[in-house]
């Protein structure tokens, strides 16, 4: 749809005027001629590309080629939709060229040797269509099941099998955090706590708004998405974020496709607006993504195509074109300098530096296992959801190659019992970083 000059002005009206000196600078790495989807906290990017005329889910990371995800027997296509910190990928697979036709929900899990195993997640009784939309770090997978006419929101990983969530008032779950709270695309956004099965209707921002829609939820419960104006037309959507105690905040002017595409743990959001993608850094301001790139050769033109994503290390994956190099496709943007020392860039493969913990969730103690490819100095810390170090478990000690295990009692540096909630484990060895999540339940 062609946008008028009035629409473009309206779409940018609420963006603050900021100087370039305030913005972080980004190194650009071209990954290949495909569209990015989601970026994990460990720097892995998933999405969907074309292979022999069929759609195929993929995973890729910095310095490595694209890897097509395997297909179950009889399937010829797949979509990769979400990935967690353990590298579990979820989406859909099909006997047709695209999972949009006859798709079935699927999970891909690392086989420990650089490949993946596949697991079909099932459907509601009497149904044959489904799609997984989101996975968290404690094993929950949500999405929908369909009878071919209607879609039903489901929890694929319920103890008794696929659970129908329709009675809870949610529709089309799109994300879930480690507190087991999901958000959806109802007429107005709903947050459903799977622990209590209590649902909240987040309503709309003050003013002439008709509806809201979610794209992401973080551990603080913030929801990123869009708000829809009641007037309709070609300028009916704004980027917005919901925060408890604050409500909906509007981050852009109106446009036909404006909204938050992704959000990290700090509440930073990346937004496709009318003319180009913008990123809003919490406490810093709003910037055109394209203006933050250090253009070493030519100029990267960043588009609003699918795959605008940001993780907690502030790394972003976008679709961009460089006329000087002739490249067009997925671009990984990594901060040249970051003040988030406790949330560094993380591009280590799970098969290079291992980190796992069980039982998860845990009550009194949790066993943490880490695997080292060689003898090296090791740092292992526990972080709260704000990124603050709450316990140093291994502090710069040198360990031999192999598997190591320790226990954590859920206490801080002073021996005080921490509150129930989600915590991060950050393992660093020889400059490589691996991040995982655990949930403490008192």
CATH of the domain at 378: 2.60.40.4070
In Å, how far from its chain's centre is CA 63?
21
Which of these, 134, 88, 49, lies nearest to 319 by C-alpha position? Answer: 49
Q: What is the pLDDT along the chain (442 residues), one digit of tens a residue?
A: 233 332 333 333 344 333 333 578 999 999 999 999 999 988 899 999 999 999 999 999 998 999 999 999 999 999 999 999 889 999 999 999 999 888 999 999 988 888 999 999 999 999 999 999 999 999 999 999 999 999 999 999 999 999 999 999 999 999 999 999 999 999 999 999 999 999 999 999 999 999 999 999 999 899 999 999 998 778 999 999 999 989 999 999 999 999 999 999 989 999 999 889 999 998 888 999 999 999 889 999 999 877 799 999 899 999 999 999 999 999 999 998 644 333 333 333 333 567 888 898 899 899 998 888 877 888 899 988 766 789 999 988 888 778 889 999 999 999 999 998 888 888 888 666 777 778 898 7
Report, in this order, helix, strand and coil percent for the chain, each rounded to 5: 5, 50, 50
CA dist 397 and 55 (Å) reads 46
Total tally of structural domains belonging to the chain: 2
If asked whether residues 123 and 266 sit together in one domain, one would say yes
In a domain, 349, yes or no: no
Asked, for residue 166, whether it belongs to a domain, the answer is yes
| Per-residue pLDDT, 386 | 67
Q: Are 145 and 152 in contact (CB under 8 A)?
A: yes
22 three-class SS:
helix
pLDDT score, position 279:
96
Who's near 361: CB < 8 A, 6+ residues apart?
Answer: 138, 438, 439, 440, 441
Place of tokens 């749809």: 1
Of the residues 303, 335, 367, the one at which a domain ends: 335
Q: Do 320 and 373 share a domain, yes or no?
A: no
Is 376 a member of any domain?
yes
CB 205 within 8 A of CB 247: yes
CA contacts within 13 A on the Cβ side of 308: 27
Residue pair 43/346 in contact (Cβ under 8 Å)? The answer is yes
In a domain, 342, yes or no: no
Q: How far apart are CA 201 and CA 61, in angstroms?
A: 37
Secondary structure of residue 273 in the 3-state scheme: coil
**What is the per-residue burial (b if ≥16 Cβ within 10 Å, else e) of 27-43?**
ebeebeebbbbbbbbbb
Q: What is the CA radius of gyration of the chain?
A: 21
Same domain, yes or no: 237 and 155: yes
Same domain, 318 and 374: no
Q: Which of 275, 303, 335 is the C-terminal boundary of a domain?
A: 335
Is the backbone peptide bond immediately before 361 cis, with ω within 30 degrees of 0? yes
Separation between Cα atoms, residue 279 and residue 267, nearest integer Å: 11
| Cβ-contact 129, 114 below 8 angstroms | no
307 within 8 A of 47, measured Cβ to Cβ = yes
Residue finishing a domain among 335, 368, 402: 335
Q: Which domain holds residue 405?
A: 354-440
Q: Which two tokens stand for residue 226?
A: 């869009």
Nearest to 78 by CA among 120, 115, 59, 106: 106
- What does the pLDDT read at residue 302? 95
Quick check: 171 and 152 in contact, CB under 8 A? no
- Judge whether 347 lies within some domain: no
Look at the block and give the residue holding tokens 């709903």. 190
Report yes or no on 348 lying in a domain. no
Report the C-alpha gap between 293 and 278 in whole angstroms.
Answer: 12
* CB atoms near residue 287 (< 10 Å): 20
What pLDDT does residue 22 have?
Answer: 58
Residue 214 lies in a domain: yes
In 103-236 the beta strands, taken as DSSP E runs, fall at 104-110, 116-120, 129-135, 141-146, 151-155, 163-164, 173-176, 181-184, 190-193, 198-201, 209-217, 223-229
Do residues 98 and 230 both lie within one domain? yes
Query: Which residue has tokens 């910037």?
Result: 287
The reply to whether 379 and 322 lie within a common domain is no
Q: Do 225 and 365 fall within a single domain?
A: no
* Cis ω before 281 (30° cut-off from 0): no
330 and 29 in contact (C-beta within 8 Å)?
Answer: no
Cβ neighbours for 392, distance < 8 A, ≥ 6 positions apart: 379, 380, 381, 413
In 244-388, at which residue ranges do the beta strands (DSSP E only) sit?
A: 247-250, 262-263, 269-272, 277-281, 285-288, 300-302, 309-310, 316-322, 327-335, 354-358, 366-372, 376-383
């Amino acid at each position: 749809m062609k946008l008028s000059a009035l629409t473009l002005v309206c779409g940018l009206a609420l963006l603050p005027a900021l100087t370039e000196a305030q913005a972080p600078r980004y190194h650009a790495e071209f990954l290949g001629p495909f569209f990015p989807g989601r970026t994990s906290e460990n720097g892995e990017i998933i999405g969907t590309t074309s292979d022999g005329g069929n759609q195929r889910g993929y995973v890729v990371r910095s310095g490595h080629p694209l890897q097509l995800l395997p297909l179950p027997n009889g399937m010829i296509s797949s979509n990769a939709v979400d990935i967690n910190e353990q590298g579990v990928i979820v989406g859909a697979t099909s006997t047709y060229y695209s999972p949009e036709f006859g798709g079935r929900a699927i999970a891909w899990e690392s086989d420990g040797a650089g490949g993946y195993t596949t697991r079909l997640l099932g459907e509601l009784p009497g149904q044959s269509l489904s799609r997984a939309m989101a996975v968290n770090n404690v094993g929950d997978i949500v999405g929908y099941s369909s009878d071919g006419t209607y879609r039903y929101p489901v929890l694929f990983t319920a103890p008794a099998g696929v659970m129908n969530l329709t009675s809870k008032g949610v529709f089309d779950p799109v994300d879930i955090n480690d507190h087991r709270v999901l958000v959806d695309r109802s007429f107005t956004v709903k947050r459903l706590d799977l622990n209590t099965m209590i649902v909240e209707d987040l309503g709309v921002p003050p003013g002439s708004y008709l509806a809201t829609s979610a794209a992401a939820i973080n551990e603080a419960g913030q929801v990123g998405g869009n708000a829809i104006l009641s007037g309709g037309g070609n300028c009916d959507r704004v980027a917005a974020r919901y925060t408890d105690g604050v409500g909906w905040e509007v981050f852009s002017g109106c446009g036909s496709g404006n909204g938050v595409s992704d959000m990290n743990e700090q509440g930073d959001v990346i937004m496709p607006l009318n003319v180009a993608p913008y990123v809003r850094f919490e406490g810093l301001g709003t910037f055109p993504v394209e203006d933050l790139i250090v253009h070493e050769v030519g100029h990267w033109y960043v588009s609003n195509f699918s795959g605008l994503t940001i993780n907690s290390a502030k790394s972003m994956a976008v679709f961009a074109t460089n006329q000087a190099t002739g490249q067009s496709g997925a671009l990984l943007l990594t901060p040249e300098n970051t003040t988030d020392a406790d949330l560094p860039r993380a591009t280590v493969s799970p098969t290079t530096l291992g980190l796992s913990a069980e039982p998860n969730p845990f009550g009194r103690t949790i066993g943490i296992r880490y695997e080292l490819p060689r003898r090296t100095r090791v740092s292992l810390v526990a972080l709260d959801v704000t990124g603050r170090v709450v316990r140093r478990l291994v502090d710069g000690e040198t360990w031999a190659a192999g598997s190591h295990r320790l226990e954590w009692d859920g206490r801080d540096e002073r021996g005080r019992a921490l509150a129930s909630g989600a915590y991060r484990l950050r393992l660093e060895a020889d400059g490589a970083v691996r991040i995982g999540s655990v949930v403490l339940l008192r």
